[in-house]
Structure 1
């Protein structure tokens, strides 16, 4: 049995034209599109960067 893919998605899916980031999770369109093909380590690395991205966006 395979484990579910970890995801930062909070079901608020809209990409800001200003930042190019999803306003819900902070990922780029490219990251969102490739998410299922990334390794768990790659996903965790991106997720580790998301809080700073979202904080920077809020400033």
Structure 2
């Protein structure tokens, strides 16, 4: 099995529920910060995968 390359396509976590929390800390749909949303198109595949892992942790923490 080959390792993923840094140029491979990584699906955006956007779920088209684009609304920020009252304190503008993050999007209630995808849990990304404004900086993360803006920076997505400039991230390489490794950075995107790392962010997706962080988002999973945020989702788990929010569910507690």
Question: Which stretch has the larger CA shift, 12-21 or 24-33?
Answer: 12-21
2:33 maps to what in 1? 28
1:45 maps to what in 2? 50
Deviation at 1:17, TM superposition (A): 2.6
User: TM-score normalized by structure 1?
Assistant: 0.78
The equivalent position to 1:54 in structure 2, one of 50, 56, 59, is 59
Matched positions, count: 58
Q: Do the aligned partners of residues 16 and 58 (structure 1) sit closer, same or farther apart at CA in structure 2, a change above 3 Å counting?
A: farther
Structure having the higher Rg: 2
Q: Which ranges of structure 2 fall in alignment gaps of 5 or more residues? A: 1-6
Alignment of 1:6 with 2:17, yes or no, is no
User: TM-score normalized by structure 2?
Assistant: 0.73
Q: Which ranges of structure 1 fall in alignment gaps of 5 or more residues? A: none
Deviations 1:25-49 (A, max 9, x none): 1110000001101111101100111
